[in-house]
């Protein structure tokens, strides 16, 4: 493998791992911008999925005591139920237009909240909405690889602390992306080239995630909430650019 290729794989792993360690999501959005320069999507996406899980597990360990299991399961179980529907829709709906719609929504939503002085603070229980967000996220995850978009947007409206917020987003993303990676592996979707890239990316991802976690620990609840909102805006812009180019 050429040195330039190794450097690009490492750069994607560093950016994706750091963002995941910092915010609890975003590995694929920030890493694929690098990896798609040197790998086709069928090779790059499995690497992104496995690195998302590898970095995400460190974040789950960080907030494991803050996990509200009934709340997490309200999102996660409907999401798992939504994955088969997303797979069925793959042959009916094109993923690219859907990604563009979600990206535009992320830009509008993140941009609107990022510049507001006062943020919404929903504190009442919303089990029906939670389940609906989870189910739709499972569909979007299987259909377009965007399982984390809706939970991130919804959690940004809740009156939660940073550990409480992350204790929902991180395990949710790890579970859905881990399921996707498992399905790919069982169906022969992870080839030798992807495995070689994973061996290069894994140590960089793990170290970069630890650096991101170190920064996360220094943030206040308010700073982390603002960071998540800004990253939604940035994620939307990155996704739009990637789909346009």
What is the arithmetic mean of pLDDT over 151-164? 86
The more confidently predicted of residues 89 and 15 is: 15
Taking CA 187 as the corner, what is the angle to CA 181 and CA 193, rounded to the nearest 5 degrees?
A: 70
What span, in angstroms and rounded, lies between the C-alpha atoms of 216 and 20?
10
Q: Is the pLDDT of residue 206 over 90?
A: yes
What is the arithmetic mean of pLDDT over 214-239? 89
Residue (of 104, 193, 112) closest to 149 by Cα position? 104
C-alpha 228, offset from chain centre: 12
Q: Is the pLDDT of residue 90 over 70?
A: no
Q: Is the pLDDT of residue 3 over 70?
A: yes
What span, in angstroms and rounded, lies between the C-alpha atoms of 181 and 178?
5
Q: Is the pLDDT of residue 135 over 90?
A: yes
What is the arithmetic mean of pLDDT over 105-110? 84
**Residue 145 zone, left/alpha/beta (φ > 0; ψ -120 to 50; rest):** left
Q: Is the pLDDT of residue 36 over 70?
A: yes
pLDDT in tens, 108-129: 888 878 877 777 788 888 999 9
What span, in angstroms and rounded, lies between the C-alpha atoms of 155 and 99?
20
Compute the Cα dihedral for 39, 92, 149, 151 and give only its sign. negative
Q: Is the pLDDT of residue 139 over 80?
A: yes
**Which tokens belong to 106?**
């992320």
Residue (of 178, 147, 170) closest to 68 by Cα position? 170
Query: What was the pLDDT predicted at 58?
Result: 92
What span, in angstroms and rounded, lies between the C-alpha atoms of 139 and 211?
32
pTM over 0.85: no
Domain ranges within the chain, ordered by starting residue: 3-244
The confidence band for 140, taking pLDDT boundaries of 50, 70 and 90, is: confident
HSE-CB of 48 using CA atoms within 13 angstroms: 25
Residue (of 56, 37, 55) closest to 201 by Cα position? 55
Compute the Cα dihedral for 179, 67, 221, 21 and give only its sign. negative
* Rounded (10°) CA dihedral 84, 184, 75, 162: -160
């Amino acid at each position: 493998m050429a040195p330039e290729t190794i450097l690009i794989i490492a750069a994607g792993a560093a950016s994706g791992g750091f963002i995941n360690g910092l915010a609890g999501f975003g590995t694929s959005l920030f890493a694929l911008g690098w990896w798609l320069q040197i790998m086709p999507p069928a090779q790059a996406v499995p690497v992104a999925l496995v690195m998302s899980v590898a970095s995400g597990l460190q974040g789950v360990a960080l907030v494991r005591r803050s996990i509200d299991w009934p709340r997490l399961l309200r999102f996660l179980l409907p999401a798992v139920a939504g994955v088969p529907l997303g797979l069925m829709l793959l042959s009916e709906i094109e993923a690219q237009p859907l990604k563009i719609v979600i990206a535009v929504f992320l830009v509008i939503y993140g941009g609107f909240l990022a510049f507001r002085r006062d943020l919404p603070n929903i504190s009442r229980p919303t089990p029906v909405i939670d389940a609906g967000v989870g189910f739709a996220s499972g569909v979007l995850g299987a259909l377009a690889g965007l399982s984390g978009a809706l939970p991130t947007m919804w959690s940004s409206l809740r009156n939660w602390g940073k550990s409480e917020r992350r204790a929902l987003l991180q395990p949710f993303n790890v579970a859905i992306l881990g399921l996707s990676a498992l399905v790919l592996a069982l169906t022969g979707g992870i080839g030798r080239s992807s495995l070689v890239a994973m061996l290069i990316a894994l140590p960089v991802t793990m170290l970069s995630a630890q650096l991101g976690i170190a920064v996360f620990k220094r943030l206040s609840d308010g700073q982390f909430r603002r960071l998540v909102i800004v990253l939604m805006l940035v994620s939307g812009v990155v996704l739009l650019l990637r789909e346009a180019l």
